[in-house]
Amino acid sequence: MKRTSLNIPNTLSIVRALLVPIFVATLLFMRNLGVWGCIVPAVVFIITGLTDMLDGKIARKYNLVTDFGKFIDPLADKFMVIGSQIAILVWMMLRAMETGSAADLILPLVFVWVVLIILLRELGVTSLRLVVAGKSGIVVAASMLGKIKTVSQMAGTVIILVEPIIPFFSENHILSYVSMAVMAFTTLFSGLDYLKAYLPHIDSNK
């Protein structure tokens, strides 16, 4: 029986996947613990994001790219992106129901569109990667817009998480709205960039 190689990059990817449910649990079950209810999930998310930044760099630098790594890395990425955004949407809705504040009630109604854009973009780009790689053998590499999208999502998520403990902004959610706008913009345009670059490689008649 062939053993799966758990080198450092693969281990980091597995850790990232395992941190997602921990992030969700701390976010939802610690939401009424004041400062700690914001700081702890934010720290967990930052650690999760750091594993995403490190595993690929280590794999390429030290030639540790494996078939298992090609499978687990993008899977862990999807877990992190999709899981975190859905959890934050639920978190916003729970807070809105508990506070009854008009500002808190509006926030998840806006954020749900950002989550939708993120989900559709991830599904679209993943499908594009599979089809292009399967038909023509072309590897869909991460573009600069894709990297900017990732940074904006990570930074925006952390800002949204810690905003409730920042005076003034905790009441009007300006930081969250700005973060949402940046996340939606970079996510949408990075997805369109992938479509523009790789859609010509797909033959609609085959």
Residue 193 lies in a domain: yes
Output the six-digit token pair for 31: 């939401």
Whether residue 197 is contained in a domain is answered as: yes
The CATH number of the domain holding residue 105 is 1.20.120.1760
- The pLDDT assigned to 147 comes to 83
Q: In the structure encoding, which two tokens stand for residue 191, read together?
A: 């997805």
Residue 135 lies in a domain: yes
Write out pLDDT tens, residues 180-190.
Answer: 999 999 999 98
| Res 62: pLDDT | 82
Query: If you ran DSSP here, which 8-state letter would residue 100 be given?
Result: -
Overall domain count for the chain:
1
**Is residue 138 over pLDDT 90?**
no
1 falls within a domain: no
| Tens-place pLDDT, residues 48-89 | 999 988 887 888 888 887 778 778 888 888 899 999 999 999
Q: What is the mean pLDDT of residues 104-115?
A: 96
Q: Would 163 be classed as within a structural domain?
A: yes
- More confidently predicted of 201 and 96: 96
In a domain? residue 206: no
Question: Poorest-confidence range of 77-86, 124-133, 134-143, 149-158?
Answer: 134-143
User: Exposure pattern of 16-53 as b/e (b: 16+ CB <10 Å)?
Assistant: bbebbeebbebbeeebeeeeebbbbbbebbeebbebbe
Q: What is the pLDDT of residue 1?
A: 43
Give the pLDDT of residue 204: 61
Q: 39-43, 167-171, 175-179: which range is least confident on average?
A: 167-171
Looking at residue 55, its pLDDT comes to: 85
Q: Residue 30 domain-assigned?
A: yes
Q: What is the pLDDT of residues 1-47, one digit of tens each?
A: 445 557 888 999 999 999 999 999 999 999 999 999 999 999 999 99
Query: Structural domain of residue 17, as residue ranges?
Result: 8-201
Domain-embedded: residue 56: yes
Contacts of 137 (CB under 8 A, 6+ apart): none
- Of 172, 181, 179, the C-alpha closest to 157 is 179
Residue 181 to residue 113: CA distance in whole angstroms: 10
Which CA distances in Å does 156 have to 98, 111, 197? 24, 12, 27
